[in-house]
Structure 1
Amino acid sequence: MRRRLAPLAAAGIAVLALAACTAGTEDAPRLGAKPSGAASALPAATIELWHGFSADHEVKAFEDAVAGFRKKFPQITVKLVKAVEDDKIIQAVRAGQPPDVASSFSTDNVAQFCKTGMFQDLNPVIAQDGVDIGVLPQVVQNYTQFEGKRCVMPLLADAYGLYYNKKLMKGHEPPKTLSELTRLAKELTVRDSEGNIEVAGFMPSTQYYEHSISHLGTMVGGKWYNPDGTSAIGSDPAWKQLLTWQKELIDWYGHDKLEKFRKGLGQEWSADNPFHVGKVAMAIDGEWRNAMIALDAKDLDYGTAPVPVADDKPQLYGGGFISGTIIGIPRGAKNPQAAWELVKYLTTDTDGLVTLSNALRNVPTTKASLASPALKKDANFQTALDVFAHPASFSLPAHINSVYNQEAFAEFVVKWESGAVTDLDAGLAEVDKTINDKLKLAGG
């Protein structure tokens, strides 16, 4: 299950400081040539893997996946540490006390991880071991490297789609275009006698859980950056197209009434999630929602489909936003060679990836694991697999200011939604300036 962007902002900022010298890591062993021969040639070692998963079934999934590695490398003792976020990893590296392996929920920090050397470049050992990066779909290859350095590998992926409540849909097929989404959102919305929203057909607010501007951007094919790393938000007409559509639907609901409804909804990660309890008919969410519905809303009759797209861009339909969990070897790791064997196993071994996917219901990230007959599939999870494989699917390009840039855009969109901004062109141009000024400060 994915964690939201906001808590990672501090991590994205803190990582800037890592360009400075890090205590205690100058003499630490680094990835390089390893003993040749069988796996048993690797010396005995104890390695520690930090990951962010915390629920009991998630922790068990990691233990089950690592079991295959322990069988292959009995001389390597693996200690798993749960519920670790990026800020703790960063602090540990700065203090010269990093784990051997660390996993992160945030692809937004990959550029900083690679640029500052916080995570070691894996290219030399990838080449040495003959690991074929081509087994990874291109979208995954893109978000695990920056400026030629592949400092992390993909562990599992997230693919976003449209969830719809079949009972509330009243026999309608899921929308494929924005105009169809608008029509259905209005038709399925239920209000009380005072016009207050009781059931929303669709929540156009970017403050609604997974309806962030980055996730909605795939509806129109919005471009984030120019080739030189500067912001393309103001110059790409797709963003104006999206925000114009969004504001028209918000105005139909009434911004104040929509906000009142949103603030009264249940928590995203609880059994009271509004989609679970029939307060929202259609919602954009990640593939993990299938597992949460199975746990918390077993009787919910629902379906999944790709997100709707702009009427004039039918070629985008079938794609969606892609992100994922990443894993690598921090600078200063005490046992980098053993750590690499674990990273390689968890990210390329078909059985290990399928074990994790079946337990966590995230998308496995190699072509072999996607095609494995052991991968549990049903119609709703298949949508995520199809979105992941679609050529129109999109992941945010790695950028040294990725978290800041998304937040700058998101803050503007909130003002736009409320009506505090009326000149969309000028507002988007100001977003560009804000992002580009930050890029200059970062030396971009």
Structure 2
Amino acid sequence: MFKPITGAIAATAAGALLLTGCTSSGPADSKPASAITPGASHKATTVTVWTFNHLPNEVAAFKATLDQLHTKYPWLTVKFVPNKDDAAYAKAVAAGDPPDVFISSTPDNVAKFCYNGTVADVGPYLSSAKIDTAKTFPPATLVYTRYEDKQCALPLLTDAFALYYNKKMFAAAGITKPPTTLAELTAAAKKLTVKNADGSIKTYGFVPRSDFDVNRYLYVGAHSGTDFYGKDGKTTFASDPKWQQLLKWDQDLIDYYGKANVQKFVGRYQPHADDAGNPLLTGAAAMEYDGEWHVGEIASLKKDFDYGVVPMPVLDGSSGTYGAGTTLGTVAYLSAGSKHKQEAFFALQQLTTDTTFLNTLADTVYNIPTTFAALKAWDKRDDPHWKPFVDIFENPHSSYKTLTPAGVEDMDSWRASLLDFEQGKAKDAASGLAAAGKKIDSLNSESGQ
């Protein structure tokens, strides 16, 4: 079973520790912020790389590449430590003993770690190594690896999100083409809904509730022509009417099924988002919003399943953005407290720019490579199920929300507000959005933005 690489859901447990704002004491060595010359002789050095990855095949892919790196450059030894999350990293930083490189599944915390001095700006190292980020990494990756004018992390594989649909069910319902707008999605969902003789729902057309699977990424702006934050750094929930339109679409479809039925659906299928009990695979849902890793899961779990993948429909009136989507992924940091920054950056550079490694790891964890060179060489880029995700990733309008020093707390707060609205706990959309925006703006203000 393969899980998504992104981590808003995993970061909540780390939130309390991260809120302490533990910082690095700054550069731990006197070496210049420049890249080393690979061909020159170097003193034998050991650097430590931590990663959130923990599955055996993932660990094997990393170790194989790091072993090859040592064979090619005998002076460099990498101590590889898997199964480390943001909370463990923050604790190590606070103790003054961080790993040299940390690979995280929570890009939301990039700005936090950058703002409080936990991680180093790798921009000078990239310049020294003559690596042009704009020519090396697709623009979508730079949104979630930069903060202000600093390159706080480098991308290492990414996720894109799209609409999966059951082709057989579409044909049976007389639907000849996938929806491109949310209004079309609602109409298709109703046609695809099948009820049992007792009136209970056998097949849901589409369940939009934000706490099911990865639906939270439907509500960050990419599919509604909205910006999470305005140019003034404040949330746009109260000022942009499209947020109310988006929530109305969400609420209307939930009401069509009934809040109690949707609650049962989420409770039953959320634990099976990534296994054979997934509702799309069992026939309990005709459409599903999911990440690219689901293509790999389907190939492993039900390879004869006849399905299609298309960009997620967009809010009516935002048709110009159809084809784009939410994209975010794994980030790799150079610790500000590293005692071997030059050598650590060299290891980081190899992991994030080596085409063979990126494509091997992408195939291993069912994710998308994150350099132009790796994408061009990837044998899956033209596969009918993978291509839509590559196209979304490469779409210039695909992005994630602006990152802030509050880290993942802004997304956690937004998710809680969304769920209150969907469960009928919020008075109305307008007041709920205003309150959510005020709370997030306050979080950002307290964090230093």
Q: TM-score, normalised by structure 1?
A: 0.93
1:130-186: CA deviation from partner (whole Å, max 9, x where unpaired): 111112122211211112121211111111111112222226322111121111111
Secondary structure of the 2:215 match is coil
Structure 1 counterpart of 2:261: 257
Structure 2 counterpart of 1:94: 94
- Asked if 1 retains the 8 angstrom alpha-carbon contact of 2:7 and 2:106, the reply is no
User: Equivalents in 2 of 1:73, 1:246: separation in Å?
Assistant: 54
| 1:29 Cα deviation from its structure 2 partner | 2.2
User: Equivalents in 2 of 1:324, 1:146: separation in Å?
Assistant: 15
Structure 2 counterpart of 1:211: 215
Q: 1:308 to 1:26 in 2, by over 3 A?
A: closer
1:106-140: CA deviation from partner (whole Å, max 9, x where unpaired): 11001011111111111121121111111212221
- Asked if 2 retains the 8 angstrom alpha-carbon contact of 1:164 and 1:283, the reply is yes
User: Equivalents in 2 of 1:58, 1:268: separation in Å?
Assistant: 20
User: Equivalents in 1 of 2:219, 2:390: separation in Å?
Assistant: 17
User: Equivalents in 2 of 1:35, 1:263: separation in Å?
Assistant: 50
Structure 2 counterpart of 1:145: 146
User: Once superposed, what is the RMSD of the aligned Cα atoms?
Assistant: 2.2
2:126 alignment partner AA: I
Q: Can you give the 5+ residue segments of structure 1 that lack an aligned partner in the other structure?
A: none
What percentage of residue pairs aligned between the two structures are identical?
34
- Asked if 1 retains the 8 angstrom alpha-carbon contact of 2:101 and 2:344, the reply is yes
User: Equivalents in 2 of 1:375, 1:168: separation in Å?
Assistant: 26
Structure 1 counterpart of 2:21: 18
Secondary structure of the 1:264 match is helix
Structure 2 counterpart of 1:61: 61
Structure 2 counterpart of 1:288: 293
- Asked if 2 retains the 8 angstrom alpha-carbon contact of 1:31 and 1:120, the reply is no
2:163 alignment partner AA: L
1:77-118: CA deviation from partner (whole Å, max 9, x where unpaired): 222222211111111111112112110011100101111111
Structure 2 counterpart of 1:49: 49
The equivalences for 1:3-14 within 5 A come to 3-14=6-17
Structure 2 counterpart of 1:117: 117
Mean CA deviation greater in 205-214 or 285-294 = 205-214
Q: 1:433 to 1:180 in 2, by over 3 A?
A: same
Q: Can you give the 5+ residue segments of structure 2 that lack an aligned partner in the other structure?
A: none
1:29 alignment partner AA: D
| 1:413 Cα deviation from its structure 2 partner | 1.7
- Asked if 2 retains the 8 angstrom alpha-carbon contact of 1:61 and 1:360, the reply is no
Correspondence 1:404 to 2:409: yes
Structure 1 counterpart of 2:5: 2
- Asked if 2 retains the 8 angstrom alpha-carbon contact of 1:354 and 1:375, the reply is no
Aligned mate of 2:190, from 181, 186, 192: 186
Q: 1:160 to 1:373 in 2, by over 3 A?
A: closer
1:201-248: CA deviation from partner (whole Å, max 9, x where unpaired): 111111111111555632212211122322112211121111111111
The equivalences for 1:37-436 within 5 A come to 37-134=37-134, 135-170=136-171, 172=175, 173-212=177-216, 214-215=218-219, 217-265=221-269, 266-372=271-377, 374=379, 377-436=382-441
Q: 1:40 to 1:390 in 2, by over 3 A?
A: same
Secondary structure of the 1:206 match is coil
